Amino acid sequence: MFSFWGKKKGSAETLKNRLQVMLAYDRAGLPPGKEQMLREELLSVLKKYFPNAQNFNIDMQRDGEGEAMILKADIPLK
């Protein structure tokens, strides 16, 4: 990655960002691959009960400082 001046971004920054995500998943006890499975299963259940609703959005987010993970579901029901 290159900044405006063409200076290479240090690997420390890359590691810090990677670790923030790693630690959040570790603390939640959920590997990232399973998050995808969870999301797909939740979506199929929602579609079963609300066949006409659309735009479900299920997302895994870090809470503020990155201490905890939040499973956030945006479920508009018409």
Partner 1 sequence: MKGNVIVVTSGKGGVGKTTSSANVATGLAKLGEKVCVIDVDVGLRNLDSIMGLEGRVVYDLVDVIEGKCKLRQAMIKDKRVEGLYLIPASGTRDKDALTIDGMHDLVRRLLEEEGITRVILDSPAGIEAGFKTAAAPANAALVVVNPESSSIRDADRIIGLLEPQGITEVRLIINRLRPKMIAKDEMLSVEDVVGLLGAKPIGIIPEDENILISTNRGTPIVLDTTLKAGSAFWDAARRIHGEDVPYPPLEEKKSWFERLFGGGR
Positions that interact with partner 1 (CB under 8 A): 9-13, 15-16, 18-20, 22-23, 26-27, 65, 67
Tell me, rounded to whole angstroms, the distance of Cα 66 from its chain centroid: 12
Based on CB atoms, which residue is closest to partner 1, 17 or 57?
17
The angle at the Cα of 64, spanning 38 to 46, to the nearest 5 degrees, equals 25
Based on CB atoms, which residue is closest to partner 1, 17 or 36?
17
Based on CB atoms, which residue is closest to partner 1, 41 or 63?
63
Cβ 19 to partner 1, closest distance in Å? Answer: 5
Cβ 11 to partner 1, closest distance in Å? Answer: 5
Take residue 78 and report the two structure tokens written for it.
């018409």
Take residue 22 and report the two structure tokens written for it.
């790693």
- Dihedral sign of CA atoms 24, 28, 33, 39 in order: negative
